[in-house]
Amino acid sequence: MEKLLEILRNLLDGEPVDIEHRVNQHGINIATGRAYLAHDGIIFTRMCWDNDTHGFGTCQCQSHNLWRDYQIDTKELLFLIYKLIKDELEQTKESAKAEKALTRLINELS
């Protein structure tokens, strides 16, 4: 629950939150997605999943930007937070509580 509140607090304070991570081929955990609240909605910024810069693949990202912005809705944001908490705090009581709360929220939005 602590983690969920921290993420929501940061977002509401206008702070970008690294919300999606992947382990690259060197075993390093890299933030591949970041979310923030803009005046006209929620922006999710995803890094090219095949970029060479962060040790994933062979893409030099020369024909496109390393990052790309998407507008997402509340449900998608909550789902990203849900996955983040699940990955980070797997099998702790805290994550079970946060997972339940998020599942309820996501279901209410369906």
Stretch that binds Zn ion, among 21-29, 50-58, 89-97, 102-110 (CB under 5 A): 50-58
Contact segment (CB under 5 A) with Zn ion among 24-32, 56-64, 68-76, 94-102 equals: 56-64
- 29-38 and 17-23 strand pairing: antiparallel
Using CB under 5 A as the binding rule, whether residue 48 contacts Zn ion is answered as yes
Nearest-approach distance from CB 18 to Zn ion, in angstroms: 19
Write the CA distances from 11 to 6, 57, 76, 106, integer angstroms.
9, 30, 14, 18
Give me the least distance between CB of 63 and Zn ion, in Å please: 8
Helices marked H in 2-110 — which ranges? Answer: 2-12, 74-88, 93-109
47 part of the interface to Zn ion, by CB under 5 A: no
Total residues contacting Zn ion by CB under 5 A comes to 4
* Binding residues for Zn ion (CB under 5 A): 48, 51, 59, 61
